[in-house]
Amino acid sequence: MVVSETFWVIFSMAHPDWLRIRIQDKPGFTDTLRVVKESAVRTVCEDASCPNLNECWAKKTATFLIMGEFCTRNCGFCDIKNGRPQPLDPDEPGRIAQAVLALGLKYVVLTSVTRDDLMDGGAQHFSEVIMAIRNINCELEVEVLTPDFQACMDSAIETILAVRPTVFAHNLEIVKKYHHIVKRKPSSYETSMTFLKKLRNRVTTKTGIMVGVGESKRDVFDFMDEISDIGIDILTIGQYLAPSRGHHPVARYVSPEEFDEYRDYGERRGIKLVCSGPLVRSSYRARESFQLVCNLK
C-alpha cells in the first residue's frame, strides 16, 4: 500500500525539521502507481516503507522487489514481512520487463527478499529477470542489490556476474558493533564483508549503512576505513527510521552536518562516491550515482 499523506504528516511530527517530508501531487506519481499495479510487480519502495517513495515515483522510477513478499529472515530494522515464501513465479521476469518498458526506464534497480529456502538463494531468478529486461533493450543498465546467499555465495555471485549487471550492491546495513543486534542471524558482518571482497575489481560495487541505531562517529569512520580497503566504489549512508514500535528503536537523529562529515571522510579515504544524508537510501538516485562514478574514472 502506498504511504498516505495523513500518515506522513503524523510520522514527520516526531522528527527534526530535516526529516519532515511534504507530499506533493505530481503526474508522474500516478503514472508509476498505475504501471506497478497493472504489471502486478512489487517494489521495495512500498514494502519497505521508503521515505522517498513519492519523490522517486513522481520521476517515474521505482526499485523492483523480486521473489515474493515474504523474507526468510526477520531483521530488526526492516519492514518487509517475515514468513514462509511461496514458490518463485516464473512469469515475474516478464512482468518486470513490461513494467520497465511502460515506465521508460533507462536504469533499472532490482532487489529481493532473502530466500534461504532456495538452493541458490534465488541467484538464477535474478539472472532471469536481468535477461528479460535486456531482451527488451540490450543497452539498459541494471543495478542489483542482493542478499548474501550464505552457503552458495560463490556460485550465486558467478551466476549474476555472468549476465553483466551494471552495479552489484550488497548492503552491510549496520556498523560492526550493532550488526548482530539489528540484523540478527544467520546474517553476519563477516559474511557480508566476504561477499563484497569477492566482487572487487570485477564490477562497480556498492554498499550502504543506516546510522542512528546507537553507533558513535568512530564506529562509522572505522567502517569506512574497512570499506575503503576492499575497494567499494559507492557508499550510501542514511538515517535509520524505525518502521514501527516493534522494530529496533532509533537511538538518535543524526544532523545534516554529521552526514557531511561522513561524506568528506569517506571520500578522503578513497571511496569514489559517498552519498550521505538523512533520507539517503541504497537505491536513491541510483542512476545519478552511477553516472557520477563513471565521470570520476
C-alpha cell at 268: 578522503
pLDDT for res 78: 82
pLDDT for res 25: 64
Q: What mean pLDDT comes out for the span 129-135?
A: 97
Burial class, 244, CB count within 10 angstroms (exposed 0-12 / middle 13-18 / buried 19+): exposed
More confident residue, 245 or 222: 222
Q: What mean pLDDT comes out for the span 116-120?
A: 94
Whether the pLDDT of residue 130 is over 90: the answer is: yes
Whether the pLDDT of residue 45 is over 90: the answer is: no
Q: What mean pLDDT comes out for the span 218-239?
A: 96
Whether the pLDDT of residue 281 is over 70: the answer is: yes
Whether the pLDDT of residue 81 is over 80: the answer is: yes
pLDDT for res 2: 44
Domains along the sequence of the chain with CATH:
5-296 (3.20.20.70)
pTM (whole model) above 0.85: yes
pLDDT for res 239: 95
Give me the percent of the chain exceeding a pLDDT of 90. 68
More confident residue, 27 or 248: 248
